[in-house]
Chain A
């Protein structure tokens, strides 16, 4: 029987963090236990109120406040849908399905382990929620384009934070791998989210150094619940559900062990 549904969330707050980057806290109806079910690395499907835009925008969860049934998302304006979201003010509402997908496996981040969180650009937000819950000695490497260091301060209570910028205006000039090498950061487990070239670099780095790595992928989605097969990625082994070498990013991911998928 039906126990999940698209629901209307209230906008508790919305602020602009940097050019084109917005932060929104969403509150959910009392009868739906949403934040309590959510884990870092999962996403929510956000729907436009404009009937010409049918498909959900999958946005990763940034922070979770389970007691108050609130979720925070930090998103980039990528088109008309996300631009519409950025105009909704506190007190307004938005239709969502939440939470969706599988989050990071935090069992790898035990006490005494060196935990490396890597976020690149709009891949930084999901690493914040993860930083808040993982055990071990936590280092966050955050890759930015320039000195608009959105969310950096939010990581400080949870992790040692290193920054890289493409233009060299803050931290290490270059990318996140340059930063890891610069500081000689060692890790037992890597969790990462960001653009594909960054994730490819991390996968290669993890493989060379024998480090376990979990990565979060993104793709355009239609259903968001595993039915339409719009958002697949190539898996190393034949997938039990699809019976081919494809996994569904929305349903089987968006978090995968880096070594189990080809990208």
Chain B
């Protein structure tokens, strides 16, 4: 039974990774999961200098999901290279580094610092709804998205995944723009911009007023968007959005995702990725599927 996938030229032992921001750089999860079993670890967004992030409260629960407005707090690329990459290199898994920035120059600075480091892929976050500049601004305009992809590709040593925002009218157009800019893959969806009000305090539940919605509540919409994107481009798609069990992951794979990422479900059960990997393998065995790639995009 073949469980491995080739994702934009990178051989992954299985199609399961984690969604950026839900897993740190893996250190906090090492007591709960065997990191060696993940196809890849996708690290939390890292910028050229340390970012403080937003005020608290940064998170709140919503029905079947949650809102977050962390604001991309991160230790900066220098400490990331010094500490987080060596940590992950102890494990037999691929490393996808999520990169964030306020300007194209900031993205490029991080991408250039990562050239020559022993990581496998870059994921460019042009879709964070919680920071004022950069982030989502690039992810909502196809021409800007194409330009960002194009400029980053000129400086990137590793294959580039462009992470798309679902807060757009036409996700297929955004996926095509990333492809036209030279992206090696796209990942989607990032979170949906949402809001919650605390009626007892007559105030926003989050200090940032709005936050990104994730969790099972978004899964049907995310799945539809992954399907649309997968049918719009030739480059591979990393699908995510509310995946919390093997059945969810299989839906995304059948919709056309070559790989899948598990995000918010890690908060409900830190070992959920292991259960998902086992569950996909069980499904394949039970249904006589010899190669996971047979399932990719099998529903048309």
Instruction: Please report A residues at the B interface, Cβ cutoff 8 Å.
Output: 1-6, 47, 51-56, 81, 97, 219-233, 241-246, 251
Contact = CB atoms under 8 A, between A and B. Distances in A.
A230 B68 contact: yes
Contacts of B265: 54
B268 interface: yes
A251 B28 contact: yes
Given A4-B32, A52-B63, A246-B53, A228 B267 contact: yes
B70 interface: yes
Contact of A5 (B32, B53, B66, B73): B32
Contact of B64 (A5, A54, A81, A226): A54
A227 B28 contact: yes
B269 A220 contact: no
B104 interface: no
B102 interface: no
Given A2-B271, A225-B29, A51 B59 contact: no
17 contacts: A3-B31, A4-B270, A54-B215, A54-B264, A54-B265, A55-B59, A55-B267, A56-B267, A219-B56, A223-B267, A225-B28, A225-B32, A228-B267, A229-B53, A229-B73, A230-B59, A244-B73
A232 B56 contact: yes
A96 to B, nearest CB: 12
Interface string B55-67: 0111111011110
A232 B68 CA distance: 13
Given A4-B32, A55-B59, A231-B56, 17 more contacts: A2-B274, A51-B64, A52-B64, A54-B267, A55-B66, A55-B268, A81-B61, A219-B56, A220-B56, A220-B59, A222-B59, A227-B22, A227-B29, A228-B68, A228-B267, A242-B75, A251-B28
Contact of A243 (B59, B63, B75): B75
Contact of B66 (A54, A97, A226): A54
A52 B264 CA distance: 13
Contacts of B31: 2-4
A117 B32 CA distance: 34
A51 B242 CA distance: 12
B119 interface: no
Contact of B75 (A2, A4, A241, A251): A241
A229 B45 CA distance: 12
Interface string B198-218: 000000000000000001100
A118 to B, nearest CB: 23
A55 B53 contact: no
A51 B216 contact: yes
Given A97-B270, A227-B23, A245 B52 contact: yes
Contacts of B194: none
Nearest to B57: A220
Interface in B263-280: 264-271, 274
**Which of B23, B24, B30 neighbours the largest number of chain A CB atoms within 10 Å of its CB?**
B24
Contact of A2 (B28, B34, B76): B34
Contact of A54 (B51, B57, B268): B268
A244 B61 contact: no
B268 A47 contact: yes
A201 to B, nearest CB: 20
A81 B63 CA distance: 12
B21 interface: yes
B237 to A, nearest CB: 25
B50 interface: yes
A228 B70 contact: yes
A55 B68 contact: no
Nearest to A1: B34
Given A2-B31, A228-B68, A244 B60 contact: no
Contacts of A242: 50, 73, 75
A222 B34 contact: no
B70 A223 contact: no
Contacts of A229: 44, 53, 58, 70, 73
A53 B89 CA distance: 35
A196 to B, nearest CB: 11
B229 to A, nearest CB: 26
Contact of B270 (A52, A223, A246, A251): A223
A54 B65 contact: yes
A187 B60 CA distance: 38
**Which of B22, B70, B268 neighbours the largest number of chain A CB atoms within 10 Å of its CB?**
B268
A177 to B, nearest CB: 25
Contacts of B266: 223, 227
B269 A223 contact: no
A64 B57 CA distance: 30
A225 B270 contact: yes
B66 A222 contact: yes
Contact of A228 (B21, B32, B79): B21
A173 B269 CA distance: 45
B33 A2 contact: yes
B59 A228 contact: yes
